[in-house]
Structure 1
Amino acid sequence: MSDNYEALIPAQIAFNEQGVPLSTTFGDVYHPQWGALEQAARVFLHGNHLPERWQGKETFTVCETGFGLGNNFFALWQAWRGDPRRSSRLHVLSFEAHPLTREDLQCVVMRTLPEPEKALAAQLIDAWPPLLPGLHRLEFEGGRLTLTLAFGTVARLARQASAGVDAFFLDGFAPRVNPDMWTRALFGQLVRMANSGATMATWCCTGDVRRGLRDAGFLVSKIPGHGGKREITVGVLRPGMGRYCSPGAGQEDVLVVGGGLAGAGVAHALAVRGHTVTVMDPVFAQGLGASHKGHIAAAITPVISRDDDIRSRLSRAGVARALHRWQGLEGEARPLRCGTIELVSDAARAAVRRESLARLAFPSEWVRWLDVAEASQRAGRCLASGGLWFADGQRVQPPALIEALLSHPRIRCMAGEASSLERDNAAGWIAMDAQGNTRVSAGQVVLANAAQAVALLSTIPGILRRPKFEAMYRLAGQVSFYSGADGDSTRVVLAGDGYCLPAQHACFVGGSTYLPDAQTSEVTVQGRADINKKVAGLLNVIPSRLTRSSNAADGWAGWRAAVADRLPVIGRIDEVPGLWLACAYGSRGLSWAPLAGDIIGASLNQEPLPLERELLRSIFPR
């Protein structure tokens, strides 16, 4: 469990007599009176030799300590998009302990920015995340520009962030009021993330700051300042320090083994980054979405825990990635963002949940408590209890979603089974069938074939034992289909003991069962009876009121693969180059699929990673 939870405290903005915005928390201005954009250009861009240093590069990454009002980001964005020789991709990692709410951000930046930057600010405001602690990845310019916002104290999150940084903008409030932004420990974490030749710039010229930067590894000097600043501080990482950044990020072909949700999520995330991807699975003989054929609908919903544990943090990160990745899909592939009510009928459990909400201090637009009347109004029917309302709950149609993800023009789907894998120094990875014939070769390979990944990994020489992964097990389960229009089911996802989804095409889905020792996964009479009780309880009706769907099938059955801690297994196999796992998704495949794709894609393309290091460790193959 997370023992260092920090509730996020939003910024409080005021304006001084000159009309410059200031933080009431720190009693300091966000930028000098002579202009935020001018400071960004003269201190941070000029001090880091931009735009010259990104020109002709595939990717370039900036790290900023103190996002504030976003002025440095807008100036950087404007300079990058206006440079015909700009890097192909630009990534920004920015820390902020006290972010503005969307409403305050809009009020301030639209009041202070000139017109060209207002157009950029409008895009940021539209994408602005809820004020939840942790990392939030935003994408602009068709994904060529990314902004990873780290919401929380920099002392904690600098240790948790992963990136290969080329330029640092040190722009916290003054050391006298905000000393945590200028510590030697922080500078050490920045150097940990620095690429070879990384530069830094800051308006701050105090002796302690300059000495701290030197001790961390920067060659520091002063150059003439501007406005009220006689000098500013700049620096470059000492030779021999920093990460090596390979020049060809994003160009390798990738083989993904497995054509279900896990494989489709990874393949799509890599394809949108420019990789050519081959997805291999025998199920493609029946169609691209055949792994979930007949699975009418499923749900994706975040969870919370009293201490904001690993599972809760991973869950909200996955749901956020799903919203970003999948809301742009068309037709039935696009998830319905209908919201979820997690019903809590027991008074003692309800008290615990409400106490958790108060402790976590999450924004009410993301999660809040509904009493029974409010819950009934949301659901469009009379419920027996209230519960937690998650605005980001979604209903998903798995076959349509998988087919849309795999239909990207850079993805090729191949019907067939990989029986073994070999590493060839010239060709990279080679997948062979049962007869030993080569089927596919690629520079990188991702095993996303659930429980079958254990056997396939064992065919590779030199792989170390991974006891948790090797103990992966399968769970059979089924869902049931019911007849009913919207008024007979629910307008939202209802969750608790089981779940019930909004109707579509006069049919709604209820679930589900978990059978750990089953030999087959099939729809059974007993399974349907168990689900009837759960759905009836959620809908506040007697089980006999539920009517079977006119659909030819009573339901759908499938398998879940899981490991002991019920967390996914996602990450690189370190012993051999270019081998990844993305499996053991259990009953949360819709949460983990987009998250896994972005973790692997960001790693391959030298982007800031979308998760904290402790979360990445929790899902690392072991």
Structure 2
Amino acid sequence: MKRIPWPEAIAPAAYKINDDTVHSTIFDDPYFSKSGGLAEKRHVFVEANHVEDRFRRSKKVTILEFGFGLGLNLLCTLDAYGSVDSDCVLDYVAFEKYPLTKDQLRECLRASIGKHAHAESVIAKLPPLISGFHRIILSPKIILTLIYGDAGSAIKELDASVDVFYLDGFSPKKNEDLWSPHLFASFRRLAATGASFSTYSSAGAVRRGMAHAGFDTQVKTGFAQKKEMLVGVFSDKVQTNRQPVDNVRIIGGGIAGCSLALRASELGLKVTLVDSGRAVMGQGSSNPLPLVRPTISLDFGPRGQLSWYAYFYAMRLYRMWSETQALGWQEIGAIQLAQTGEDYSKMRNALKVLSLGQDFLKCVEQGSSALKGLSARISGGVLISPVGQLSKCQTGFAEALRNQSIEVLTQISLSDLDRGDFLGERRTTSEVLPLVLANPQTAQRLVPAVDLRLQPIRGQSTRVKGMGKRLRFALCGDGYLSALDDGSAWSSGTFDLNDESEEIRAKDNLLNLNRISNWVDSIGSGRNDLVTESWVGVRYATYDRMPHVGSLSQGVYALTGLGSKGFTWGPLAAEVIVSELLGLSCPVERSIKKRMSPLRFG
């Protein structure tokens, strides 16, 4: 498959601060009126779109902003949300071509509005400056999706049912691209029933563009010295009207199914989780020490994009969950090892393209201090910090499900979708309740008409004692090696395609021991006396190594085929499904979602 190169690195915003006003030097225009940033945003956007009233009467409100800038519209919207006693889900999507770094944003907000109750919690969760979609959970029912890049080209990738449009780009005279007829025309596809928009600009071109997009426009009194602003309500035929559901059934209690169950419950759905085992997080998801990490690659195709999006999302989500659940979550450093000098050269080139900064990704050359104590045969690598590891998956997720009062039914095996008492409720109403298949072992049998092309892949891990403090970082190559606090470590990485055996094999322990001896000095090969424990899991991957995430038929969805990436990809894949169930914006590009369709093999 042809490699798709990474896009050019995102250019951060350029600005200057005069008194308490932040001025863009790229567009030669201020980020907000001199009469007051928050007051202006509140008047032009929050109040003009009756956002507080929408929160009171809706299950979800999707807001689409053009020009995230300093985040002032988001802060005002969060203030409005906090003032209303509502269970509404706030789904906030924003485009930004020239985002500010975290430190820049702190500086600008400090100079312009001083302290704000929500500012630091938002800033702390902002992603690195990588092109594309970034899903951020600010709180269980407050979702932020930042889309870094040009809105004119990226708008076609957005899948959403938008209730409110905030048009807050720089002046149409200074930033023509963000006020183009092409962009306005895309609103027709995105607008929900009763959608509204507002903008500080009352320019004739904006008025005509929004009218052409299907909005009845109206000129209203502007803020402070500005006499006029523009508002409107969508009156054309809705193309993206979605009806959210109240219940969901999930078959499969692995990491994907549990991630979906927890997020669906947090967002207000009644959830039933069904598994064939004696407890959740069994089989391939019972990995005793999974790593959550990206893969350093020059490929920015769908798989490369998904790898990075999912990694950033999973790190934030596990971090949030671990504040209240005992998942054994730790954030550590990991080195992705180069197998040869040529591999190391490719990694160096990838880092130049990624432009994430040495605080996050750093090349480590052969003989560097980061590789001290490791084998001289290692040709270098990339230090990634942080990555995550989970040491209490089974007990932690079981407890999390109980704490969310999620109904869990275990030791239930299904031979087809027309059997099983728990499915009876799906047929008690005229509308079929949604069912999600997160059970790769039996999914194909349940939907025989769809070719899922799932392959079993057996993997065995080996726990060894006596590592002490020799392992400063997790090591990743043809498998991985990661330490626990007690001085032991798990070596993982056997790969047996089309093998579903759960038998512990001595030869696989030997392979894992040899990996250690190849990577770590003073650990001899074949040291069976160091082995304290072994684990076997069977994961299922698709032929193209993209997961199955999406609709199979009316009311039936697939969430499977994650292979060995389950703990990294599973949370974001689950977010795609729950977003579709609730009518929320999709957290990934439409092109990526299409590549994950479970119907793609025919």
Output the TM-score relative to the length of structure 1.
Answer: 0.88
Q: Are 1:526 and 2:507 counterparts?
A: yes
* Cα distance, 1:56–1:515 mapped onto 2, change above 3 Å: same
Alignment of 1:303-382 (within 5 A): 303-327=295-319, 328-329=321-322, 333-374=327-368, 376=370
| Counterparts of 2:596 and 2:284, CA distance in 1 | 25
Alignment of 1:149-160 (within 5 A): 149-160=146-157
State the match for 1:5 in structure 2. Answer: 7
For the aligned residue pairs, the C-alpha RMSD in angstroms reads 2.6
Alignment of 1:47-446 (within 5 A): 47-84=48-85, 86=86, 88-115=88-115, 118-140=116-138, 142-246=139-243, 249=244, 251-252=246-247, 254-284=248-278, 287-291=279-283, 295-327=287-319, 328-329=321-322, 333-374=327-368, 376=370, 384-397=378-391, 398-414=393-409, 415-422=411-418, 429=426, 443-446=433-436
CA contact (8 A) 1:187 1:212 kept: yes
Structure 2 letter corresponding to 1:617: K
SS of equivalent residue, structure 2 residue 543: coil
Q: Are 1:466 and 2:450 counterparts?
A: yes
CA contact (8 A) 1:290 1:399 kept: yes
State the match for 2:493 in structure 1. Answer: 512
Aligned-residue offset at 1:183: 1.1
Aligned-residue offset at 1:536: 2.0
Structure 2 letter corresponding to 1:99: P
Aligned-residue offset at 1:428: 5.3
Alignment of 1:574-589 (within 5 A): 575-576=553-554, 578-589=555-566
Structure 1 letter corresponding to 2:273: V
* Cα distance, 1:50–1:593 mapped onto 2, change above 3 Å: closer
Q: Are 1:40 and 2:41 counterparts?
A: yes
Output the TM-score relative to the length of structure 2.
Answer: 0.91
Aligned-residue offset at 1:222: 1.5
State the match for 2:32 in structure 1. Answer: 31
CA contact (8 A) 1:486 1:503 kept: no
Aligned-residue offset at 1:401: 4.4
Structure 1 letter corresponding to 2:147: A
Deviations 1:580-621 (A, max 9, x none): 111111111111221122111111122222111111111111
Structure 1 letter corresponding to 2:508: G
| Counterparts of 1:451 and 1:228, CA distance in 2 | 65
Aligned-residue offset at 1:129: 2.0
Deviations 1:100-127 (A, max 9, x none): 1111111111232154xx1111211222
Structure 1 letter corresponding to 2:438: A
Deviations 1:328-347 (A, max 9, x none): 32575132111221011422
Structure 1 letter corresponding to 2:556: L
* Cα distance, 1:302–1:120 mapped onto 2, change above 3 Å: same
* Cα distance, 1:294–1:305 mapped onto 2, change above 3 Å: closer
Per mean C-alpha deviation after superposition, the further-off stretch among 271-280 and 532-541 is: 532-541
State the match for 1:500 in structure 2. Answer: 481
Per mean C-alpha deviation after superposition, the further-off stretch among 445-454 and 505-514 is: 505-514
* Cα distance, 1:580–1:549 mapped onto 2, change above 3 Å: farther
State the match for 1:479 in structure 2. Answer: 461
CA contact (8 A) 1:68 1:99 kept: yes
Aligned-residue offset at 1:532: 2.4
SS of equivalent residue, structure 2 residue 330: coil
Structure 2 letter corresponding to 1:443: L
CA contact (8 A) 1:129 1:136 kept: yes
* Cα distance, 1:366–1:429 mapped onto 2, change above 3 Å: farther
State the match for 1:461 in structure 2. Answer: none
* Cα distance, 1:167–1:406 mapped onto 2, change above 3 Å: same
SS of equivalent residue, structure 1 residue 570: strand
CA contact (8 A) 2:344 2:379 kept: no
State the match for 1:435 in structure 2. Answer: none
Structure 1 letter corresponding to 2:294: P
CA contact (8 A) 2:482 2:490 kept: yes
* Cα distance, 1:579–1:102 mapped onto 2, change above 3 Å: same
State the match for 2:23 in structure 1. Answer: 22
State the match for 1:452 in structure 2. Answer: 442
SS of equivalent residue, structure 1 residue 487: coil
* Cα distance, 1:8–1:380 mapped onto 2, change above 3 Å: farther
Question: Of 581, 591, 598, which aligns to 1:604?
Answer: 581
State the match for 1:621 in structure 2. Answer: 598
CA contact (8 A) 2:457 2:500 kept: no
| Counterparts of 1:54 and 1:351, CA distance in 2 | 52
Aligned-residue offset at 1:42: 1.9
* Number of equivalences: 588
SS of equivalent residue, structure 2 residue 299: coil
| Counterparts of 1:512 and 1:621, CA distance in 2 | 27
Aligned-residue offset at 1:370: 2.3
* Cα distance, 1:158–1:241 mapped onto 2, change above 3 Å: same
SS of equivalent residue, structure 2 residue 546: coil
CA contact (8 A) 1:161 1:613 kept: yes
* Cα distance, 1:108–1:620 mapped onto 2, change above 3 Å: same
* Cα distance, 1:160–1:368 mapped onto 2, change above 3 Å: farther
CA contact (8 A) 2:68 2:94 kept: yes
| Counterparts of 1:267 and 1:388, CA distance in 2 | 35
Structure 2 letter corresponding to 1:298: P
| Counterparts of 1:189 and 1:4, CA distance in 2 | 26
Aligned-residue offset at 1:147: 1.5
| Counterparts of 1:427 and 1:211, CA distance in 2 | 52
State the match for 1:434 in structure 2. Answer: none
